[in-house]
Amino acid sequence: MPSTPPTKLLAGVPVPDTPLINKALAFARAHCDDFTYNHVVRSWLFGTYISDQIPDFKSRDVELHAITALLHDMGWTISGDTVSKDKRFEVDGAEATRAFLIREGEKGDWDARRLQLAWDSVLLTWRAIALKGRHFWMSWRLLKINHQLDD
The predicted-structure confidence for 36-70, as pLDDT tens digits, reads as follows 999 999 999 999 999 898 888 888 899 999 999 99
Residue 49 lies in a domain: yes
pLDDT confidence of residue 149: 46
Q: What percent of the chain has pLDDT over 90?
A: 48
pLDDT, tens digit, 9 for 90 and up, residues 99-133: 999 999 998 899 999 999 998 888 886 554 444 44
3-state helix, strand, coil in the chain (%, to 5): 60, 5, 30
Task: Please tell me the total count of domains within the chain.
Answer: 1
Residue 31 lies in a domain: yes
pTM: 0.80
Residue 102 lies in a domain: yes
Residue 9 lies in a domain: no
Query: Across residues 71-76, what is the average pLDDT?
Result: 86
Going from the C-alpha of 125 to that of each of 67, 94, 107, 139, the distances in angstroms are: 13, 10, 27, 9
Residue scoring higher pLDDT (30 or 108):
30
Residue 2 lies in a domain: no
Residue 12 lies in a domain: no
Domain with 43, as residue range(s), is: 17-147
Residue 4 lies in a domain: no
- Average pLDDT score over the chain: 81
* Torsion 137-138-139-142 (CA) sign: positive
Residue 21 lies in a domain: yes
Q: Which residues pair with 14 in a beta bridge?
A: 9
- Closest-CA residue to 62 (of 31, 30, 24, 102): 24
